[in-house]
Chain A
Amino acid sequence: MSAPRSLAALRRATAVNLGIGAGALSRALGKGGGTTVPGYLAERLDPGLLADLARALPGGCVAVSGTNGKTTTARILADALRLEGYEPIANREGSNLSRGLVTALIGASDRWGRPRFTERSIGVFELDEGTLPQVVARVAPRAVVLTNLLRDQLDRYFELDFLRHLWTTGLRLLAPSATLVVNADDPHLAHLAQELAGRALTFGVEDPGHLRPIMEHASDARRCPGCEHPLEYAGTFYAHLGHYACPACGWARPRPDLVAARVELGPEWSRFQVEGADRPALQLQVPLPGLHNVYNALAALAGAEALGVSEGSLVAAVGSVQGAFGRAEQLRLHGRDVVLALAKNPSGFNATLRWLEGAGYGSHLLLALNDAGPDGRDVSWIWDVDFEGLPRPEQVTCAGTRALDLALRVEYAGLGAPTIEEDPAAALWGSLGRVPEGGRLAVVATYTAMWSLRQALVRQGHLPEFWVEAGAPRGLAAARGE
């Protein structure tokens, strides 16, 4: 291999090697999967790295963003592409800022930072909502999949309207040939796609049986994005996603290109029929519970369609998807069934509470709330969760750095005074001890609280480390072994 000779090339090589070395070190020290540090260092040293590598991908790339569901959607999409014969390069570990993308990409480059892609390489990038606008112009995606836009971590994203404004501005830089894949049940996204007037593909749920006549308290899409008059909802499926129309200006939910109908929700799965104009109906079964996972599978399906992936690959990918980090992970601990669910915003928490109850996990709850950066430093949002009206559980244990805030919230909702145990791992063993043999415990935790819970389970051999399971180290291991 001949070495490129220029200062820029040298800088790139230094950036890549520093990143890879730091990742290896992080792993060796047991500090984590090294999914962030390599990209962070490499990008600091060589800011052009991301654009150069991403644009060199022979299959181009697809970006997945939104408040909830982006990790699962991106996973299904990457699996479908792999089954289709592509070689996806993905930031599967949920490190979804630009540094996570760089980590994934330098895992598939040589020591000079030159891509070692094959002609079937394609990028599947999960992107943080705040990062999306800046990254779109740099990586020039072939398709952008937007799952939903909901109230989330306001200490980081400030105001939903502002984020929406940034998305609109950022997505104007999409290539005319690129497809915008959006959830038609989210008024903001449906309106965004029409405003941008590029190629768009929409998806939505059409099953009156699951349409609830209520709006969650945290709903943020109460007004027409065009004229600001209050929207009229026939009902909602999840968060503010539903069927809506504006009585003032006549704007309404567009008829989606891809529709999920005949939705059936099981305790550990969901099933639906995909319908669309000029296509035979398609049955899909997702081995993940809850209506939110119907949306995730549907979003992936629409994304796959935009990329020209065959139905067969998609069906297989949906059928074998596993819960991402802390997303409905189920395990058996000391004779009890335990489910782990990540919840970091009101709508996600509401959806989780709903399927937990439906799946018979409602009587023993361990709720863990931390206020570190990735959790959101502002814990106000727990008061936007609709705890009111839940059947009173036999046990609620509150854990995390803000266990006491959560305990007040739960008690004020009339669910009784919870047990408090700040350390999430200790709380897990404690609450498990209060579940009768053969019973069920549901664990709902914010990001870093879930991390410490999982680590405790990993140490005892109950769960694999999440980056091993995610198949992340392949690229880096290959780079190290070259």
Chain B
Amino acid sequence: MRIAIGYLYPSVMSQYGDRGNVLTLCERSRRRGIEAEVVPLELGDPVDPDRVDVLLMGGGADTQQRLVAEDLVGTKGEGLRQAVEEGVALLAVCAGYQLLGHFYLAADGTRLPGVGIFDAHTVHRAAEIGARMESITAAGQVRAVGNVVVRREGMELVGFENHGGRTYLHPGAQPLGEVVVGRGNNGEDGTEGCVVAGAIGTYLHGPVLPKNPALADRLLASALGHRCGEVPPLHPLADAAEKAAHDVAVARALSGDRRSPVALRRRSGGARPWPGTERTARLSGPGARSARRHRPPG
């Protein structure tokens, strides 16, 4: 048995160790005697839904996101939508997740069109409050950075988030899970990520798959389903090392969370900079209020 893993933009969108997700699917396939082939899909390469069984996309900076957004609209978008419709599994992390929504409003106010696989849109926090980021400290105040724990029916996921964009799910869209520790989609509604058929969008780096083997196997099962027409039973792996790493990361996330709110309050003189008020030293600018919320059209 074999599957093909489409690795989206390996050279421009793999900034946060996200290739670990590719390595994990390969390793978990190998342990089950499934042959996994990695198909790199760089800028300019189209997506052929018959050629891939699972698609992986990682994070990247704003500059790379612009290039990728152009490529998604011009080259890959149609193939991606069709692939998801035909049951190809997909995992998009952070910037990848943002670009597969309806649109992404970047920090400088540029509106990047999305592919629309996820019924959601994303606004960079700096654009939302009209802030200019002139130092690492200022940027830190608009970003969600830290360990994340997400609960999903029968599954606990752990990872690390690091994003300036806030994602808003549209009515009816299914989140990946609810946030236990961290900010998730937007720090307001307690949701994290989005799920549509076999496609999963999430802010979880870490990378997410090595320490969350259940999620990895869900993708693998969907991939095999696409390849074989029906989902064959995946025989369970030992996963003692994976589960131990997961538990340690969860413990770190929980202990860190007890400390951080106090530290945040102390730094910002009473106001919690993220999420919530824009009352922070260097975070003011024209249009701070009017740009506060971008609702989806319609």
Contact = CB atoms under 8 A, between A and B. Distances in A.
Interface of A: 130, 133-134, 151, 154-163, 166, 169, 217, 219-220, 222-223, 228, 371, 377-384, 401-402, 404-405, 407-409, 411-413, 417
A220 B20 CA distance: 17
B15 A412 contact: no
B139 A407 contact: no
Nearest to A133: B135
A252 B207 CA distance: 35
B27 A222 contact: no
A405 B164 CA distance: 26
Contacts of A217: 14, 19
B46 interface: no
B181 to A, nearest CB: 13
Contacts of A151: 15
B11 A404 contact: no
Interface in B4-20: 11-12, 14-20
A119 to B, nearest CB: 35
Given A158-B145, A162-B61, 4 more contacts: A130-B136, A371-B252, A380-B17, A383-B17
Given A377-B160, A407-B241, A408-B245, A156 B136 contact: yes
B252 to A, nearest CB: 6
Contacts of B153: none
Contact of B162 (A130, A155, A220, A222): A155
Interface string B133-177: 111100110010111000000000000101010000000000000
Nearest to A387: B23
B221 to A, nearest CB: 20
22 contacts: A130-B136, A151-B15, A158-B139, A158-B164, A159-B62, A161-B63, A162-B61, A162-B139, A169-B134, A222-B11, A371-B252, A378-B16, A378-B145, A378-B160, A380-B16, A383-B19, A383-B210, A384-B19, A405-B211, A405-B248, A408-B211, A408-B245
Nearest to A382: B17
A157 B15 CA distance: 13
A160 B64 CA distance: 11
Interface of B: 11-12, 14-20, 23-24, 27, 61-63, 67, 133-136, 139-140, 143, 145-147, 160, 162, 164, 205-207, 210-211, 241-242, 244-245, 248-249, 252, 256
Nearest to A222: B11
Contact of A160 (B20, B23, B61): B61
A384 B61 CA distance: 16
A211 to B, nearest CB: 20
Nearest to B11: A222
A155 B20 CA distance: 18
Contact of A380 (B12, B27, B207): B207
Contacts of A134: 135
Contacts of B24: 412
B27 A412 contact: yes
A383 B23 contact: yes
A160 B15 CA distance: 10
Q: Which of B23, B136, B145, B244 counts the most A-chain CB atoms under 10 A from its CB?
A: B136
8 closest Cβ contacts across the A-B interface? A383-B20, A380-B17, A383-B17, A404-B245, A159-B61, A130-B136, A378-B160, A161-B61
A378 B206 CA distance: 7
B245 A407 contact: yes
B266 to A, nearest CB: 13
Given A377-B147, A408-B242, A166 B17 contact: no
- State the main secondary structure of chain A at its contact with B: helix
Contacts of B27: 412
B280 to A, nearest CB: 16
Contacts of B17: 380-384
A158 B164 CA distance: 9
A405 B249 contact: yes
A45 B249 CA distance: 38
B19 A222 contact: no
A380 B18 CA distance: 8
Contacts of B23: 383, 412-413
B241 A405 contact: no
A378 B205 contact: yes
Contacts of B248: 401-402, 404-405
Contacts of A378: 16, 145, 160, 162, 205
Contacts of B256: 377
A166 B138 CA distance: 11
A72 to B, nearest CB: 24
A133 B137 CA distance: 12
A95 B63 CA distance: 31
Q: Which of B15, B62, B133 counts the most A-chain CB atoms under 10 A from its CB?
A: B15
Nearest to B133: A162
Nearest to B160: A378
Given A160-B61, A378-B205, A404-B244, A412 B210 contact: yes
A380 B20 contact: yes
A379 B162 CA distance: 12
Contacts of A384: 14, 17, 19
Nearest to A220: B15
Contacts of A401: 248, 252
Contact of A166 (B136, B143, B206): B136
A154 B139 contact: no
A228 B67 contact: yes
Contacts of B133: 162
A154 B143 CA distance: 12
Nearest to A228: B67
A411 B16 contact: no
B63 A383 contact: no
Contacts of B136: 130, 156-158, 163, 166
Contact of B15 (A133, A154, A377): A154
A120 to B, nearest CB: 34
Contacts of A156: 136
B16 A377 contact: no
B27 to A, nearest CB: 5
A242 to B, nearest CB: 15
Nearest to B66: A228
Contacts of A219: 11
B16 to A, nearest CB: 5
A161 B108 CA distance: 13
A378 B160 CA distance: 6
B135 A161 contact: no
Contacts of A371: 252
Contacts of B205: 378, 380
Contacts of A154: 15-16, 162
A381 B18 CA distance: 9
A456 B61 CA distance: 40
